[in-house]
Amino acid sequence: MTRTVQVNDREKTASRLLRSSAKNSYDPEVDIDWQAPLAEGKPYLPLHRSTLYGTPLWERLTEEQRIELTKHEFASIASNGLWFEVLLMQMLLKDFYHRDPRTQHAQYALTEVADECRHSTMFAKACDRIGAPAYGPFRILHEGGRILPATLKGPSAYASILVAEEILDRIQRDQMFDEQVQPLVRMVNRIHVMEEARHVTFAREEVVRGMRECNAAQRAYHQFMTSLVGYCIVKALINPDVYKAVGLRPATAYRTAMENPHWWETIRWSGEKIMAFLDEVGLVGKPGMPLWRKAGLIR
């Protein structure tokens, strides 16, 4: 059942976010020291966030192999974040195409696109700097992503942006405050988290406004589409090829990861905040429940 969620006037919110962007934006090209040496013996994710943590396969890995695995898991998450940033930019530009460019709202959409361009470059440079592939999503998801900007619209478009951004945000906040994690990774995460806070505010208010205008059929459509994208986002985070880096068979290791309760707890934890919001605005409903459960975002 949809609850009443208060939002500001669209132009007031956009004006505030534009001022914040002008004062608090980063340029990863100059704000990150890409030439600094990587730290010896430091993982690229907190070890307890690795997909294999707590499994018999994990116990068989040496400390060096565990660190190497986190390097490739970080690269998978970052490159899938890049993939979704590109889809997000297409959706924002599609929305902008129909708006008056003189408005603060339209101008903030362009500002967000500019932010996402820099973030995508940053994720690509991070994968290159640590010496890992930009894994990206499964082939079927990569191909399916081509149609996403054309099919998503209204509240489910902005809700899908939120699912991707807020799951990534929770994972990255965990990393940026962990002094055991590689300094380069922590800086990449810090920049992304600080700038995405503005994007989340923008998208959340658009979801609330859009859901207020939906009838029952439209609400069911947005519930299903948001859950479908949420399921795809969770499945895309880890590419099975990451396990080759430590000498594991991808199919076997991936199956072990997908059966690992520690990993599923990480997924549930990463989605706590966004799932509470989606439920509050009426986007968690019967049409999407099977997919939310398969994604591990609802028990």
The ranges assigned to domains in the chain are: 10-15+42-49+60-295
Do 154 and 92 touch, CB atoms closer than 8 A?
Answer: no
Find out whether 210 and 158 touch, Cβ atoms under 8 Å: yes
HSE-CB for 212 with a 13 A CA cutoff: 10
Burial class (CB in 10 A: 0-12, 13-18, 19+), 184: buried
Sign (positive or negative) of CA dihedral 285, 286, 291, 297: positive
pLDDT band at residue 3 under the 50/70/90 scheme: low
State which amino acid sits at residue 221.
Answer: Y
Tens digits of residue pLDDT in 180-214: 999 999 999 999 998 888 889 989 999 999 999 99
Q: Is the pLDDT of residue 122 over 80?
A: yes
- Residue 6's pLDDT band, with cuts at 50, 70 and 90, is low
> CA-CA distance, 160 to 157, in Å (whole number)?
5
- Mean pLDDT across the stretch 209-230? 94
Q: How far apart are CA 78 and CA 242, in angstroms?
A: 13
Give the pLDDT score at 65.
98
Q: Domain 10-15+42-49+60-295 falls in which CATH fold? A: Ribonucleotide Reductase, subunit A (1.10.620)
Q: Which of 85-99, 136-150, 154-168, 202-216 is predicted least confidently?
A: 136-150
pLDDT in tens, 22-33: 888 889 999 999
Q: Is it the case that residue 1 has pLDDT exceeding 60? A: no
Q: What is the pTM of this model?
A: 0.92
Question: What pLDDT does residue 2 have?
Answer: 47
pLDDT in tens, 18-77: 999 988 888 999 999 999 999 999 999 999 999 999 999 999 999 999 999 999 999 999
Among the residues of the chain, which ranges form H helices? 10-23, 28-31, 56-60, 63-97, 104-130, 139-144, 148-151, 154-176, 183-212, 216-236, 250-258, 261-270, 272-280, 289-295
- SS3 assignment, position 87: helix
